[in-house]
Structure 1
Amino acid sequence: MRDIAKEVYTKMKVGSVAWIRPVAAKGDTLDSFQSAHDSARQLEEEGLIDIEKVQRQADGLIDAIRIQRLA
């Protein structure tokens, strides 16, 4: 399984903001995307990003995460 949060982080410049979303063309599903939140939280604990917003659907599944790169 690919680490979507880490992929987005490596493409960002320090101080920039981005949305992390599942990409169907790369085989992502909403179910598999839930692990991206865990990965993003780990990056936040390391002080590399700040999670600004977690967008959820009505059923509670995460469908987008807004992050800012700090380092």
Structure 2
Amino acid sequence: MRDIAKEVYTKMKVGSVAWVKPVAAKGDTIESFQGALDSAKLLEEEGLIDVQKVQKQADGLVDAIRILRLA
């Protein structure tokens, strides 16, 4: 399982904002994307990012995460 949140983080510059979303071309599904929120929270605990918004579908599954790179 790839770490989508970490991949997006490494491509960002400090102070920039990005949406983390599943990429169907890379084999991501909404179900497999649920672990990305856990990964983003770990990066937030380390002080590397700030999770600004978590967008959920009507069924409660996370489909996008907005992050700000702090370090």
Q: TM-score range by the shorter chain?
A: over 0.9
Calculate the aligned-residue CA RMSD, in Å.
0.2
User: After TM superposition, which residue ranges in structure 1, 4 or more long, deviate above 4 angstroms?
Assistant: none
Q: When the two structures are superposed, what TM-score results if normalisation uses the length of structure 2?
A: 1.00
The answer to whether 1:20 aligns with 2:20 is: yes
CA distance, structure 2, for counterparts of residue 17 and residue 37 of structure 1: 16
CA distance, structure 2, for counterparts of residue 24 and residue 7 of structure 1: 15
**SS of 1:22's equivalent?**
coil
**SS of 1:65's equivalent?**
strand
Q: When the two structures are superposed, what TM-score results if normalisation uses the length of structure 1?
A: 1.00
Unpaired runs of 5+ residues, structure 1, are none
How many residues align? The count is 71
Unpaired runs of 5+ residues, structure 2, are none
